[in-house]
A = this chain, B = another copy of it.
C-alpha cells in the first residue's frame, strides 16, 4: 500500500535513539496520511458513473457537531463528493435519517452525535440503513466485525464496512511503521487502549486482536484482554487483573480516547521506550513529556476518520452497484 511504503522508512520503531530521555518523537500528522488516501479516493470517484452524494444529519445544538459537519463538507468537496448538511431538531432526527434512507439520490450518510446524549442515540444509530451507514456504526456492521466476517457474500465481492474511527487508527498505526511483514500485521504486538465504547474502543480492540495483537482494554468497568484466538481467524476476550502500570510498560502501542478531564494523562515515565502513542479523544490524554519517550505521537485522528468514512461510502457504493 502506498501510505505504508512511503511512511515506514522515516518512522522505524526499532530505531534506538542516541541518548534515552532526549528522544523527541515524530509527530504524525493525520492530515498528511489522509492525503495519501484521498488521492486514491479521488481516482476511484472519478471512475464512477455518477458523483457520490452524502448527507450529514445535524440535529444537535452542540458546537463541535457543527464544526465536524463543516469539516466533513470540506473533506467531501476536496475529493469530489457532494455533501449536503440536513438540519433537524433532535425530535426530527429519526425522520431525517429515515428520509435519507429512502432517498435513492443519497448514497450514504453521517449523523452527528450526541443528539439526545442518552441511550436513545443508540436507537438512532441503528435507524440508519446499514447500506448507507458510511460510519460503520450499525449493529449489523458491528456483528460482522466481532465475528471477523470480512465479506457479505461467499464469492467475497462485497466487503463488510468497518467503523471509521477504529479503521482510521489502524491506518495510522500502519503509517507510523508499526505493521509487521507477517500474515497478521500486528502479530506479537502489545497494545493498551483506554476506552471500550461500542463505537471506538471495543471494535478497535477486536480489530487489533484479529490482526494478531495482544490488547489490554481499559474502561470505567475495568480491564479486559482481547487476544488472537488459537484458530487464527477470530479473537478471544478474557478477564484480567493487569493494572495500568504493567499494561503501559509492556505496550508497543498506546491508544487513548477518554473524554474527561479527570483521566490521569499518560506520562512519559509510564510508557515503553519507542512506543507509538495515539490520542483520538478531543481531550488531552497524554502528558507533554510523552514525546521524550515515544517514537511516534499521533495527537489527533479526526482528519483520518472523515477520510475513512468517505472511503467506506465508496465501498458501500460498489456493494450496491457491483457492475459500476
Residues of A whose CB lies within 8 Å of any CB of B are 89, 91, 116-120, 122-123, 126, 139, 142, 196-198, 202, 219-221, 224, 237-239
Contact = CB atoms under 8 A, between A and B. Distances in A.
A98 to B, nearest CB: 10
A198 B123 contact: yes
A235 to B, nearest CB: 12
A139 B237 CA distance: 26
Contacts of A117: 221
Contacts of A118: 196, 198, 219-221
17 contacts: A89-B239, A91-B237, A118-B198, A118-B219, A118-B220, A119-B119, A119-B122, A119-B197, A119-B198, A120-B196, A120-B202, A122-B122, A123-B142, A123-B198, A126-B126, A126-B139, A139-B139
Task: Work out how many copies of this chain go into the complex.
Answer: 2
Contacts of A89: 239
A239 B221 CA distance: 34
A122 B120 CA distance: 11
Nearest 8 A-B pairs (CB), nearest first? A119-B198, A122-B122, A91-B237, A126-B139, A117-B221, A123-B198, A118-B221, A120-B198
Nearest to A126: B139
B91 A198 contact: no
A89 B139 CA distance: 22
A210 to B, nearest CB: 17
Nearest to A142: B123
Given A126-B139, A139-B126, A238 B120 contact: no
Contacts of A123: 139, 142, 198
A198 B122 contact: yes
A184 to B, nearest CB: 22
**Which of A198, A220, A224 gathers most chain B CB within 10 Å?**
A198
Nearest to A220: B118
A236 to B, nearest CB: 9
Given A118-B198, A123-B198, A139-B139, 17 more contacts: A89-B239, A91-B237, A91-B238, A91-B239, A116-B221, A117-B221, A118-B196, A118-B219, A118-B221, A119-B122, A119-B197, A119-B198, A120-B202, A122-B198, A123-B139, A126-B126, A126-B139
A119 B114 CA distance: 14
**Which of A118, A142, A219 gathers most chain B CB within 10 Å?**
A118
A118 B139 CA distance: 15
A240 to B, nearest CB: 11
A320 to B, nearest CB: 23
Contacts of A196: 118, 120
A238 B139 CA distance: 28
Contacts of A142: 123
